[in-house]
Amino acid sequence: QSVLTQPASVSGSPGQSITISCTGASSDVGTYSYVSWFQQHPGKAPKLIIYDVIYRPSGVSDRFSGSKSASAASLTISGLQAEDEADYYCSSYSTSSSLVVFGIGTKVTVL
Amino acid sequence: QLQLQESGPGLVKPSETVSLTCTVSGGSISGTNYYWAWIRQPPGKGLEWIGCIYYTRSTYHNPSLKSRVTISVDTSKNQFSLKVRSLTAADTAVYYCARAPMAAAASFDFWGLGTQVTVSS
């Protein structure tokens, strides 16, 4: 099964903005606007923070925003805070994997 | 508030079959707009979608696991289940159950806490 490509790690200082990319193909990110992002702290279940490329679930900070261009989606975290240090995963609807494919994950470090 | 809770044996031997159950509370699994999914995470690694089921018993599976996986639903108990056959050490992982809207099958909005499955003799 193919997976979505993410950088292994991204870091930033408190207050800065960082962006995580999620690169797919025409069978997923390139064609469909069904990209989601999840935040996972160590030992915890993932938490949905962005769905359908740009939408935030109720209760999620507006410091998180999503976008997409061609076959690459992006998650931007603005005003980076210590609590944002976590692993982040993208996911997409996919016609090549029977329904869903995940990204390989990105570790965000707050310096 | 919807809650999902996984349950399973924890430790299983290689070549055996593991059965996991996800109990849903605070909402009906028979709701017409949601898929019920299984996702796993090997130690130190990323998330892997295993498959999902609709309350009508229609299923979708990760092609890499399809031959070893069965997903079923019991609407009378508000539960859905996962069986993985012919286990190897590579199946050692935390197994999560989750819900996703049918209109956005990759946006899992509610998750269980996860259950550890260790494959070892």
Q: Which residues of chain B does A105 touch, with a Cβ-Cβ cutoff of 8 Å?
A: 46-47
Is the per-residue pLDDT at A1 higher than 60?
no
Q: Which residues of A79-90 are buried (b: 16+ CB within 10 A; e: fewer)?
A: ebeeebebbbbb
Point out the least confidently predicted range of A26-30, B28-32, B76-80: B28-32
Q: Which residues of chain A does B108 touch, with a Cβ-Cβ cutoff of 8 Å?
A: 36, 38, 46, 48, 91
Q: In Å, what is the CA distance from A38 to each residue of A16, B29, B37, B50, B111? A: 20, 23, 15, 17, 11
Whole-angstrom Cα distance, residue B28 to residue B2? Answer: 9
- The answer, for B51 touching chain A at a CB cutoff of 8 Å, is yes
CA angle B102, B106, B109 (to 5 degrees): 80
The long-range contacts involving A54-60, CB below 8 angstroms and separated by at least 24 positions, are: A57/B109
Q: Identify which of B93, B59, B47 has the alpha carbon closest to the alpha carbon of residue A102.
A: B47
Per-residue pLDDT tens digits for A46-104? 999 999 999 999 999 999 999 999 999 999 999 999 999 999 999 999 988 778 999 99
How far A18 CA lies from chain B's nearest CA (Å)?
A: 21
- The answer, for B105 touching chain A at a CB cutoff of 8 Å, is yes
Per-residue pLDDT tens digits for B17-44? 999 999 999 999 987 789 999 999 999 9
Per-residue pLDDT tens digits for B88-121? 999 999 999 999 998 888 999 999 999 999 999 9
Closest partner CB to B60 (pick from A45, A47, A99): A99
